[in-house]
């Protein structure tokens, strides 16, 4: 049986949603951003905007409108360090946009065989959560082999991989930038600007995490959020590092990131806690609505 998907289609004219009959007698139906948010909150799978003017002049306007809607409808969030099928199914059911599976040496490391099993079961459930494979300073050929075998959606580079390394990957990439508490935003912006040129033809995101010596993620330590705001204004960034249900709303209000990533902050005795994850997700959604 085919999966049923709810996809509202909205006619747009002059930056407003309109209703009419046979493209005549249009009546204003509301603000696209507000309607998009309502459909998203109601469980719609996708949104379709039809520019009924269909002119060269209107093309830029509709693109800007869609970008604005995308910025306001939701904040994607990731739950990293998934180690079991139960937790993978649980966090996807709760609404996670991404799950992260660690292939690098770590207490959360999963074998390629078991990662493949987790992903196969997720795919069989027809959910749309994307799977991120997390690697640290791994030979690029091995990363590509694992990504192909497990059918990863994204590859996250959490080590010291140079920008040029990213171009050899056969998957969209999430590049982790580790920052200290007193880092200089202008230095990070310059680094990401260089990365933008390297990754111009490749789907990518940036992941800002705390810089802790000899650790590559899962530190449980936050960085200076106020200094991250200028970065989030220019680049699509996911923030991580010490996020918990207690502080993630503040982080979202300060930084206004593209997404958030949590691992240690939703664990109890080293294992993912679905109650904490649900609390985290609800707080993220509420914070997103407040900043929209």
Q: pTM, whole model, 2 decimals?
A: 0.69
Q: At 225, list the tokens.
A: 């959020």
Q: Which residues is 237 bridged to in the sheet?
A: 206
Mean pLDDT across 33-43: 68
Mapped onto helix, strand or coil, the DSSP state of residue 137 is coil
- Beta strands (DSSP E) in the chain are 9-13, 16-21, 24-30, 48-51, 77-79, 98-102, 130-135, 154-157, 173-179, 204-210, 237-239, 259-262, 267-268, 271-272
The pLDDT score that the predictor gives to residue 61 is 47
- The CATH code for residues 77-291 is 3.20.20.70
Asked if the model's pLDDT at residue 281 lies above 90, the reply is no
The pLDDT score that the predictor gives to residue 120 is 95
List, for residues 93-104, the tens digit of each pLDDT value.
Answer: 877 888 999 999
- Considering only residues 10 and 130, tell me which one the structure prediction assigns the higher pLDDT: 130
- Report helix angle 112-124 to 85-94, nearest 10: 40
Mean pLDDT across 155-184: 90
- Under the banding of pLDDT at 50, 70 and 90, the label for residue 57 is very low
- Considering only residues 247 and 21, tell me which one the structure prediction assigns the higher pLDDT: 247
Lowest mean pLDDT among 27-31, 138-142, 238-242: 27-31
Taking phi over 0 as left and psi of -120 to 50 as alpha, with beta for the rest, 214 belongs to left
The pLDDT score that the predictor gives to residue 103 is 95
Nearest partner of 192 among 224, 136, 140, 230, judged by Cα: 230
Helices (H) and strands (E) in the chain, counts: 10, 14
In the chain, what are the domain boundaries?
A: 9-73, 77-291
The percentage of residues in the chain with a pLDDT greater than 90, rounded to a whole number, is 36
d(Cα 276, Cα 267) in Å, to the nearest integer? 7
The percentage of residues in the chain with a pLDDT greater than 70, rounded to a whole number, is 77
- Under the banding of pLDDT at 50, 70 and 90, the label for residue 267 is confident
Q: Which residues is 261 bridged to in the sheet?
A: 78
- Under the banding of pLDDT at 50, 70 and 90, the label for residue 25 is low
d(Cα 10, Cα 23) in Å, to the nearest integer? 13
Asked if the model's pLDDT at residue 4 lies above 50, the reply is no
The pLDDT score that the predictor gives to residue 74 is 60
Rg (CA), the chain: 20
The pLDDT score that the predictor gives to residue 2 is 36
């Amino acid at each position: 049986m085919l999966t049923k998907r709810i996809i509202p289609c909205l006619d747009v004219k002059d930056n407003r949603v309109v209703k009419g009959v046979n493209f005549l007698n249009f009546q204003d139906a509301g603000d696209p951003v507000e309607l998009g948010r309502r459909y998203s909150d109601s469980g719609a799978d996708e949104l379709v905007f039809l520019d009924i003017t269909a002119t060269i002049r209107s093309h830029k306007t509709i693109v800007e409108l869609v970008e604005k809607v995308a910025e306001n409808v939701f904040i994607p969030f990731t739950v990293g360090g998934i180690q079991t099928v139960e937790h993978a199914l649980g966090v996807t059911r709760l609404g996670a946009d991404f799950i992260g599976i660690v292939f690098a040496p770590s207490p959360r490391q999963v074998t390629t065989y078991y990662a493949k099993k987790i992903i196969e079961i997720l795919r069989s459930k027809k959910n749309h959560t994307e799977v991120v494979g997390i690697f640290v300073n791994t030979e690029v050929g091995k990363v590509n082999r694992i990504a192909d075998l497990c059918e990863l959606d994204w590859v996250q580079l959490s080590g010291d991989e140079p920008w040029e390394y990213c171009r050899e990957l056969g998957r969209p990439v999430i590049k982790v930038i580790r920052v200290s508490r007193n880092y200089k935003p202008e230095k990070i912006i310059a680094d990401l600007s260089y990365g933008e040129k390297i990754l111009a033809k490749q789907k990518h995101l940036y992941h800002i995490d705390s810089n802790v010596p000899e650790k590559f993620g899962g530190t449980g330590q936050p960085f200076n959020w106020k200094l991250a705001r200028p970065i989030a204004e220019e680049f699509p960034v996911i923030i991580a590092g010490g996020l918990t249900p207690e502080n993630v709303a503040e982080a979202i209000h300060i930084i206004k990131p593209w997404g958030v990533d949590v691992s240690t902050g939703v664990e109890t005795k080293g294992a993912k806690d679905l109650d904490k994850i649900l609390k985290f997700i609800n707080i993220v959604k509420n914070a997103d609505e407040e900043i929209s």
